[in-house]
A = this chain, B = another copy of it.
């Protein structure tokens, strides 16, 4: 499986990423040759998804070290790079975490060549750790898919997912997609219902593209369709990602997740959330009142981009020019609607008790 960020094969001083703004219509690989290129890549959403943003920023620090080596004011360059990379996306927790880790590591040594080597190794380590966490989420989620497959006597397991909690937001495997990729690898027949996920359509553009690249059978549906499919037995399980999960198992994820959780509950369909433990926020207990929900530009609702007949990318208006639109980015799915949380340490009930069973070090 290809990764989402890597060093250029013939030049280890250049970082490469897929320009995700053009997916699924074009696969454009971008060279990031300077830390400023990395800054732009994060700011302009050439790369997106918390783990990928963090990893790309880490490589940005490595590129800054390379530039510092050629400079007479190396410290100034590093300082500027750290500051500017930190400001490249306002709310990306992984970004801050990765930069803090890089800074702490670099502060351990003084000479620049060693700093540079350390920066590269730490960026690599961040990448490998994410890959391993995602792989383990798949290892723990796989038995859920296997059990359904056995119950259905090998018939296709139909899995619904919302948004993109796939490898494109991570390095490899993804979170919600990891059990799916692993089941597919084992030859378990799976089929994925891909919610298009308005307004930014990460499902229709990213998840569908990922799955088609991996040869996994899938069907794109509008966000309105999941309830009907569940009512008629066309969905065996739901699995989604999360941006933030409370100590009590409430899950903030892409807007619309809550509606699918309600429908799953109403039809006795298991609803799982896949998460690396880094997205657990142990400081809060009530997702509905304590997680602030980002409001984004109304133009994401009013306009949409796609591929026109002449092959160009076009943005078109969908609403009356003067009708306002509102655009909340996330909603909160209460723990009571969630069958289980799939983490790198195993699967648990969506509750404080369940989470503390896997993460006993978090007991107060």
Q: Which residues of A are interface residues toward B (Cβ below 8 A)? A: 24-25, 193-194, 196-199, 201, 204-205, 208-209, 211-212, 218-229, 231-232, 254-256, 258-260, 262-263, 266, 288, 293, 301-309, 314-328, 330-332
What would be 28 A-B contacts, judged by CB atoms less than 8 Å apart? A24-B320, A25-B317, A196-B301, A196-B319, A198-B224, A201-B318, A205-B320, A208-B320, A212-B320, A212-B322, A220-B302, A220-B323, A221-B325, A222-B256, A227-B258, A228-B331, A231-B258, A231-B331, A303-B306, A304-B306, A305-B316, A306-B317, A306-B318, A308-B308, A308-B314, A309-B315, A314-B314, A316-B316
* CB <8 Å contact, A231 and B332: yes
- Asked whether, in the complex, the Cβ of A307 is within 8 Å of the Cβ of B316, the reply is yes
Q: Which residues of B contact A211 (CB under 8 A)?
A: 323
Residues A227 and B259 in contact, CB atoms below 8 Å apart? yes
Query: Contact at B220–A24, with CB atoms within 8 Å?
Result: no
Q: Which of B262, B301, B332 contacts A220 (CB 8 A)?
A: B301
In the assembled complex, the CB of A90 is this many whole angstroms from the nearest CB of chain B, namely 20
Additional A-B contacts beyond A198-B198, A304-B306 (19; CB < 8 A): A196-B301, A204-B318, A204-B323, A205-B319, A218-B323, A219-B323, A219-B325, A220-B301, A220-B319, A221-B301, A224-B256, A224-B259, A225-B256, A228-B258, A229-B328, A232-B288, A258-B263, A306-B318, A308-B316
A219 — which chain B residues lie within 8 A by C-beta?
323-326
**Given the complex, which residues of B lie within 8 Å of A197, measured CB to CB?**
224
Contact A301 to B222, CB < 8 A, known contacts A315-B309, A318-B306: yes
> Do A304 and B325 have beta carbons less than 8 Å apart?
no
How many whole Å from A62's CB to the nearest CB in chain B? Answer: 33
A307's partner among B225, B308, B317, B327 (CB-CB below 8 A) is B317
- Which of A199, A224, A293, A319 has the largest number of chain B CB atoms within 10 A? A224
Shortest C-beta distance, A86 to chain B (Å), equals 29
Which of chain B's residues have a CB closer than 8 A to the CB of A228?
A: 255, 258, 293, 328, 330-332
The answer to whether residues A222 and B222 also contact, given A263-B262, A304-B306 and a CB cut-off of 8 A, is no
For the complex of A and B, 9 pairs with smallest distance between CB atoms: A224-B256, A306-B316, A228-B331, A24-B320, A198-B222, A262-B262, A220-B325, A208-B323, A307-B317
Residue of B nearest to A209 (CB): B320
Q: Does the CB pair B208–A223 fall under 8 Å? A: no
